[in-house]
Amino acid sequence: MRMKKILILCLYCVALSFGALHAQERVYISTDKSCYVAGESIWCSVYCLDEEGYSDLSSVAYLQFFSNEGVKATIKLGLIEGRGCGRFEIPFSFATGNYSIVAYTKRYGGESLTEFNGKVVTIFNTLTVERVEGGVEVLPAGKEIDHVGAAVATVRGAVELEVPENGVKGMNAVPIKLRNLSGKRASLNISVYHVDELEKMVAPERYSSSSLLERTGEFRETAELDYAGEVIKVKLSGEDGNPAVGKNVYMSAVDGDMDVYVAVSDSAGMATYYTNNIYGERDLVFDVASDFNIARSISRGDVGEQRCGISLLEATYKHKTAAIPVLEISAQMRDALVQRAMNMQIAKRFEADTIYNLMKMRANPLLGDVVPVVYNLDDYTRFPVMTDVIREYVRGLRIRKYGKEEDIQVLWESSMANFSFTEGHALALLDGVPVRNHKLLVDMDPLLVRQIVVYQRQFAMNNFLFDGIVEFKTYKGDMGGISLGEDVSIISCRGVEYPLAFFGNRVAGNPNYPNYNSTIYWNPVVDIEGKDVYEFECQLPAYKGEFKVVVEGLDEDGSSIYASDVFKVE
């Protein structure tokens, strides 16, 4: 096992050396539109490049939302081969004003060397009179804001958009076609959104005409690197306040998808977890295990061990943004704001994760290509005792008693062994959280458990070796009310955003979903080979009006691409 630790350390050192050879990474961001009301989502697509093209060094991009008052929010987007996406739901704590988005990676996101020229978005908070200090100018009565005028087709780069030329009537969806005329591979994002009166009064060209590639700034290089996924660090302190050294610590995410990691605290009491990305708002559970070379501590606990305090460590750096333009508002915006706010509230009332489309996510390396055996307990006659459920139905498990202790063991066929099946101590999970005291699982009410999943293979996690994994999944994802004890610490943390898109196909024809979304189509990652055509159908919402199609991205030479056109629904 010591050799495995050395190998992991060497690989990480190689990754750091490899990072030093890379040119500086730059993160460019595109959004679905530029004008929002609090409560709506800002859909984001990011491009991470170095001098050679798309960077495969960092696996997380960081986006900070700045106003004149400073940083108001930070989100993280997962990167796969330099591309990533996600959405930011604008909190109602955001005041009305303009915001600039500063984007960077952890490796190249230290103290600012220059001002960051971020993309500017406008946010109206229709539920409060709060405004960004020094960032809003209220025009006097009688003075109005000029409309930008009717949207027209715009092309920058060798692409061509094809949308219906005449008004659309009696259709549920609009066909849209995009041609790549350059002969070069391009990576793009596509948005279709409603051009209401608010959009015409607060158009992005009022504040910035910069292209995708001009949204950048310089940062100092740091010693941090999200290479395989987000790196999470915690500090362990003993009861005496000194660093807790040499402790094996589980970290897991409640209701996670095998988000389980083990780290050993160093001489400073710091434990570092190299994750493959943990998605969404999660409760992270930390459990200090024994110092055994294999994980065979069952319910005995760690006799003589100090209880440890655990705190999450996050590096912070000072970033500077270029001057953010002042937002002009006037009484003529009232009707448009009322309508936009109403549509937002309708959308939030009926919002569900099922209406979105999940894009590519980073694979979990722990499981590899192991195919689990899944037992859906609703398919069987229900027993009131977990022991009976496992004995009668779950053939890949067995329970062994050692005095008052109980151990769940996984049975699996081994081609390397001289016997048909091997058995040993399993990593037992309850809604994604390791449970070292297997008796808690044996004694729980099986009627709370929806599914038992068994992975029949040996797994190594840092110092620990497991002869299989078994996961108990409850109906509510709340661990069935089981308490893991006082030695367990729970810390809330927001990981990377889920890589979501909105194609509209999941709400099409659904009478229970009144589609009043402002953005009616969003595809954040569209790769088109040279001379190829990309076609899609845009589902129409429950209202009429003018809609704008925007395509933005880069070709394989790093040149900026932008195209837009409009169609009307009558």
Q: Which CATH architecture has domain 22-222+499-569?
A: Sandwich (2.60)
How many of the other CB atoms lie within 10 Å of CB of 291?
13
pLDDT at 8: 40
46 - beta bridge partners?
29, 84
Tens-level pLDDT at each residue, the chain (570 residues): 333 333 343 444 444 444 445 578 999 999 999 999 999 999 999 999 999 999 999 999 999 999 999 999 999 999 999 999 999 999 999 999 999 999 999 999 999 999 999 999 999 999 999 999 999 999 998 787 776 555 556 777 788 999 998 778 878 899 999 999 988 999 999 999 999 999 988 876 666 656 788 888 999 999 999 999 999 999 999 888 899 999 999 999 998 888 999 999 999 999 999 999 999 999 999 998 764 443 444 344 444 455 789 999 998 999 999 999 999 999 999 999 999 999 999 988 888 878 999 999 988 878 878 889 999 999 999 999 999 999 999 988 999 887 778 889 998 765 444 434 445 578 999 999 999 889 999 999 999 999 999 999 888 888 788 889 999 999 999 999 888 777 789 999 999 999 999 999 988 877 788 899 999 999 999 999 988 999 999 999 999 999 999 999 999 999 999 999 999 998
Tell me the C-alpha distance between 58 and 79, whole Å: 7
The tokens for 370 are 């192991």
Q: Which of 402, 489, 478 is nearest to 437 (CA)?
A: 402
pLDDT at 460: 86
Side chain identity, residue 335: D
pLDDT at 154: 73
Q: Are 346 and 516 in contact (CB under 8 A)?
A: yes
Q: Which residues, including other chains, have CB under 8 Å from residue 75's CB and lie 6 or more apart?
A: 44, 62, 63, 86, 88, 494, 497
Decide: helix, strand or coil at residue 2.
helix
The tokens for 36 are 């929002």
Q: Which of 79, 77, 81, 80 is nearest to 101 (CA)?
A: 77
Q: What is the pTM of this model?
A: 0.90
Tell me the C-alpha distance between 321 and 314, whole Å: 21
**CA separation, residue 474 to residues 377, 447, 448, 479 (Å):** 11, 9, 6, 6
The tokens for 496 are 């990377």
Q: Are 355 and 506 in contact (CB under 8 A)?
A: yes
How many of the other CB atoms lie within 10 Å of CB of 142?
7
Tell me the C-alpha distance between 145 and 162, whole Å: 31
Tell me the C-alpha distance between 498 and 189, whole Å: 17
Q: Which of 31, 40, 124, 137 is nearest to 335 (CA)?
A: 124
Q: Which of 56, 97, 103 is nearest to 77 (CA)?
A: 103
How many of the other CB atoms lie within 10 Å of CB of 178?
22
pLDDT at 292: 44
pLDDT at 12: 45
Tell me the domain boundaries of the chain: 22-222+499-569, 230-313, 373-487
Please give the CATH number for the structural domain made up of 373-487. Answer: 2.170.130
